[in-house]
């Protein structure tokens, strides 16, 4: 693939990421994506097919970037550090949570595209969490790593996904998200019972 073609695909990806995060699949418009990406509308259909396929590819790429930036915890990792990195990444990349919320709204109660591969990714993370150093001792025997992964994901994601609720609970001071992050990290540290 030529560098020009790659640059066009990257511009389309960025424009589609923002469009889908703002409007979901149903509300997104390919003509706005094309205009923002400075690309031909027909090129978008040629590269990606329809809007649903484009959304699936955009979400998939965003999740791959997240997985690379915040890999599953290693055996020696401190889970609190993992939660800290996950919170920071989602705070810096808010579109991912919005894409996931749109996906849930537009695919209620039915399997989503690439569900099998994404399920395996989450199961890998849960297994890694179960083996990670921070779940040593009693916690490893008593806590379900799959449930913990879901709880840690919710702990990180919910305050960022519903900023209006976070504002109502935490106030709108400049340190509100820092306080939420500190609480999430403290909860993760308490799972093992390690002192802060």
pTM metric for this prediction: 0.86
Asked if CATH classification 1.10.357.10 holds for the domain at 70-192, the reply, yes or no, is yes
Instruction: Tell me the pLDDT tens digit for each residue of 83-111.
Output: 999 999 999 999 999 999 999 998 888 89
CATH number of 1-55: 1.10.10.60
Over residues 3-51, the pLDDT tens digits come to 878 888 899 999 999 999 999 999 999 999 999 999 989 888 888 888 9
Contacts of 97 (CB under 8 A, 6+ apart): 90, 157, 160, 161
Is 166 in contact with 180 (CB distance < 8 Å)? yes
Per the CB < 8 A criterion, the answer to whether 20 and 68 are in contact is no
Q: Where are the domains of the chain?
A: 1-55, 70-192
Q: Which tokens in the block code for residue 94?
A: 């808010």
């Amino acid at each position: 693939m030529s560098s020009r073609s790659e640059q066009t695909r990257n511009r389309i990806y960025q424009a589609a990421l923002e469009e889908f995060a703002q409007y979901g699949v149903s509300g997104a418009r390919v003509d706005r994506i094309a205009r923002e990406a400075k690309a031909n509308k027909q090129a978008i259909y040629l590269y990606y097919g329809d809007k649903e396929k484009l959304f699936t590819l955009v979400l998939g790429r965003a999740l791959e970037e997240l997985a690379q930036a915040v890999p599953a915890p290693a055996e020696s990792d401190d889970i609190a550090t993992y939660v800290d990195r996950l919170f920071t990444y989602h705070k810096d990349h808010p579109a991912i949570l919005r894409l996931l919320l749109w996906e849930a709204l537009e695919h209620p109660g039915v399997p989503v595209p690439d569900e099998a591969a994404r399920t395996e990714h989450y199961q890998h993370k849960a297994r890694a969490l179960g083996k990670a150093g921070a779940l040593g001792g009693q916690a490893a025997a008593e806590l379900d790593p799959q449930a913990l992964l879901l709880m840690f994901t919710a702990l990180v994601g919910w305050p960022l996904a519903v900023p209006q609720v976070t504002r109502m609970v935490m106030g709108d001071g400049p340190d509100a998200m820092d306080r939420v992050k500190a609480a999430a990290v403290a909860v993760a540290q308490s799972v093992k019972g390690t002192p802060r």
